A = this chain, B = another copy of it.
Amino acid sequence: MPLPETQIPGRLQAYFSERGIRITQQRRAVLRVIETATKHLDASQILRKVQRVDASVDRSTVYRTLQLLKRHGLIDELDLMHIRGEGHYYERKMNREHIHIACLRCGKITEFVTSTYDKLKQQVEKDCHFKILVSRLEVGGYCSACRQ
Residues of B within 8 A of A140 (CB): 132-135
Interface size on A, residues (CB 8 A): 38
A17 to B: closest C-beta gap in Å? 27
CB–CB B134/A139 < 8 A: yes
A134's partner among B1, B132, B141 (CB-CB below 8 A) is: B141
Check A15 for interface membership: any CB of B closer than 8 A. Answer: no
CB–CB A81/B130 < 8 A: no
Which residues of chain A from 25 to 80 have a CB within 8 Å of any chain B CB?
77, 79
Q: With A and B bound together, what is the CA distance between A101 and B110 in angstroms?
A: 24
Which residues of chain A from 116 to 148 have a CB within 8 Å of any chain B CB?
116-117, 119-121, 123-124, 127-144, 147
Check A6 for interface membership: any CB of B closer than 8 A. Answer: no
Check A12 for interface membership: any CB of B closer than 8 A. Answer: no
> Smallest CB-CB separation from A136: which chain B residue?
B138
Q: With A and B bound together, what is the CA distance between A131 and B139 in angstroms?
A: 10
A74 to B: closest C-beta gap in Å? 16
Given contacts A101-B128, A129-B143, contact A123 B134 (CB under 8 A): no
Q: With A and B bound together, what is the CA distance between A112 and B125 in angstroms?
A: 11
Given contacts A120-B117, A124-B101, contact A139 B135 (CB under 8 A): yes
CB–CB A116/B123 < 8 A: yes
CB–CB A101/B120 < 8 A: no
